[in-house]
Amino acid sequence: MRSTKWQILGRLTPLIFLLAGGARKLITERRRTMSKSKRLVVSFAIGALFMALVSFLTPILTTQAQAPAGASAPPGPDPTGNSTGKASDVAVKNPASPALVELMDTIGHNKIAINIVWTLLAGFLVMFMQAGFAMVETGFCRAKNAAHTMSMNFMVYAIGMLGFWICGYALQMGGVGAVAALGGTPPLNHEFTISLFGKTFGLFGTKGFFLGNSVYDVGVFALFLFQMVFMDTAATIPTGAMAERWKFSSFVIFGFFMSMFVYPLFANWVWGGGWLATLGTNFGIGHGHVDFAGSSVVHMVGGIAGLAGAIVLGPRIGKYTKDGKPVAIPGHHIPMALVGTFILAFGWFGFNPGSTLAGTDLRIAVVAVNTMLASAAGAFTAMLFMWLRFGKPDPSMLANGMLAGLVAITAPCAFVSAPAAVLIGGVAGVLVVLSVFFVERRLKVDDPVGAISVHGTNGAWGVISLGLFADGVYGDGWNGVPGPIKGLFYGGGFSQLFAELIGVAVCFVFVFSSFYIFFKVLDALIGNRVSAEVELEGLDIPEMGALAYPEFPISPGFAESVTTMTVPEPARRRGTLTVEPAEN
């Protein structure tokens, strides 16, 4: 039966070759002489002939596929998928009477497989957020610094990953214990602790340096990938706040410091079983500091690091007039920044739903919807605010608004209802604009892309909103505290809110002081900031050796006629230099 199909084909083969050869000869001979209309007719004729041939052959060649599948017949194709995956796919010793434990093993293996595949895929999405950050930050910078800004965002992935591999992962997750969703991660079993007031405070993990042989485990590796891309998100945030004036050498050292020490320590305290997570079991403060996907652990850490860095660096030349009024320095590529924002919003579907570490935890549907709702609300309220206040819906603020909504919903995404998610995102959209003005006008800190406001301010708002809006549906047993997580507005009292506020305060104090001291020391050793000449010329050639756009003349939009200007050092430091056209 089976062979008839091939026999027919075999018999037809010479005919097909003959036809093809003839047609080719005909075409090459006639092409020049044929008129346009005649060529059209011939094309149609060939097409009609081909269709007739196909409709003639189809029934002959497909009859075999529809043979009824009997008990003994070999399995046919399964176009609907309904019968793919059978008892015969489960490995058992005796198929006639499988043992219960064999079936349980298979079910357990499949469950963990779903979770690990889910965690990895979500991690791949978060990895792609690096591209989003690179585009947002570069788009908001000037063309003369585009290669430099892009390169920082590019290399933070490589530098951060190596630092995290060396010791960051071990310090963060080395004592996390059994991550049940990933099959137990048995090797990550030691946390360095100290005892105070008769309670144990976890400070950092001690297993998993260099991902050595003692942690050679699929669950540990899956967790490494996922935690690594999260750390990288935090590490790439300061490159925006400090853009257009940061020495590349200083940035490289920062990348290691962030990925090896500061981020892993705070992440250990919240996610690795450290002392902020155990505030609940130790002192009865809510469920301890709860941060589902990293509003504080990832975003606030990045934002506060950026704040410390931007303060030490000082504002870009020309950012403030002599009397301290901020001057706008428009970004060179708004479409790039908006596409980058979309990539980030897409990657966030890995960031938040992936943080279940379990595809079998179907709360991921709620998490994903809350995430997208908050991003929409944030973009919308930011648009309205700018429109009403300045008459136009500034595109750069639309992007910041959407990101603010995403950052804010990152902590509470698993614990709140959809209306609360919209409210949290909506507040974030206005908060980010007010924060940008506050940072720029009151603090006089120059943040070219709004990273401090998007990630720092809204990271704090995100964990606080969890303490307000957690609706008591999800999170039973979180951090070892029985019962679901309830916020202030859902009958949970101030307890959870208090835990969140402790987390915010610790994050601010620890990260800010660490990085302020770090950048001050680095300033004394190698310097953080490029020279005024380099800054005015653009960092691309002096720092990187390549222009982002070598074949386009860069029109001096903002800092025209500055090339002949000399810049006094104190003015540069204070950033109060005004750029005025050179006198003729």
Partner 1 sequence: MRKIESVIRPHLLDAVKNALQEVGVVGMTVTEVKGFGRQKGHTETYRGSEYKVDFLPKVKIEVVLPEDRVDPAIDAILRTAKTGQFGDGKIFVSSVEEVIRIRTGERAALAL
Binding residues vs partner 1 (CB under 8 A)? 326-330, 386, 389-390, 392, 394, 396-397, 433, 436-437, 440, 450, 555, 558, 560, 581
CB nearer to partner 1: pick between 191 and 447 = 447
CB nearer to partner 1: pick between 289 and 319 = 319
CB of 402 to partner 1, least distance (A): 15
CB of 396 to partner 1, least distance (A): 6
Paired tokens of 394:
């500034």
CB of 439 to partner 1, least distance (A): 11
What distance in Å separates the CA atoms of residue 105 and residue 314, rounded to the nearest whole number?
60
CB nearer to partner 1: pick between 356 and 453 = 453
Tell me the residue length of the chain: 584
What distance in Å separates the CA atoms of residue 486 and residue 480, rounded to the nearest whole number?
15
CB nearer to partner 1: pick between 146 and 290 = 146
User: What 8-state DSSP symbol labels residue 278?
Assistant: T
Q: Which secondary-structure segment (H or E) carries 7?
A: helix 2-30
Paired tokens of 491:
């009958």
Identify the burial level of 482 via C-beta atoms within 10 angstroms of its C-beta, where 0-12 means exposed, 13-18 middle and 19 or more buried.
exposed
CB nearer to partner 1: pick between 128 and 558 = 558
CB of 330 to partner 1, least distance (A): 5
CB of 82 to partner 1, least distance (A): 55
Q: Which secondary-structure segment (H or E) carries 257?
A: helix 248-257
CB of 192 to partner 1, least distance (A): 44
CB of 329 to partner 1, least distance (A): 7
Identity (one letter) of the amino acid at 328?
Answer: A
Q: How far is CA 100 from the centre of its chain?
A: 42
CB of 577 to partner 1, least distance (A): 16
Q: Is 59 helix (H, G, I), strand (E, B) or coil?
A: helix
CB nearer to partner 1: pick between 437 and 489 = 437
Identity (one letter) of the amino acid at 30?
Answer: R
The residue whose two tokens read 């997750």 is 173
Angle ∠(33,37,39) on CA atoms, nearest 5 = 55
Q: Answer whether 172's CB lies under 8 Å from 227's CB.
A: yes
CB nearer to partner 1: pick between 433 and 468 = 433
Give the residue from 345, 339, 295, 320 showing the smallest Cα distance to 439: 320
Q: Is 489 helix (H, G, I), strand (E, B) or coil?
A: helix
What distance in Å separates the CA atoms of residue 68 and residue 73, rounded to the nearest whole number?
8
Pick left, alpha or beta for residue 289 (phi over 0 → left; psi -120 to 50 → alpha; otherwise beta). Answer: beta
CB nearer to partner 1: pick between 174 and 405 = 405
CB of 422 to partner 1, least distance (A): 25
CB nearer to partner 1: pick between 243 and 265 = 243
In whole angstroms, how far apart are CA 551 and each of 113, 478, 546?
50, 56, 12
CB of 504 to partner 1, least distance (A): 26
Instruction: Provide Rg for the chain, Cα atoms.
Output: 30
CB of 437 to partner 1, least distance (A): 6
Q: Answer whether 137's CB lies under 8 Å from 239's CB.
A: yes
Give the residue from 323, 341, 346, 344 showing the smallest Cα distance to 331: 341
CB of 429 to partner 1, least distance (A): 14
CB nearer to partner 1: pick between 33 and 555 = 555
In whole angstroms, how far apart are CA 94 and each of 91, 99, 105, 124, 572?
9, 8, 15, 40, 80
Q: Answer whether 409's CB lies under 8 Å from 375's CB.
A: yes
CB nearer to partner 1: pick between 398 and 544 = 398
CB nearer to partner 1: pick between 327 and 567 = 327
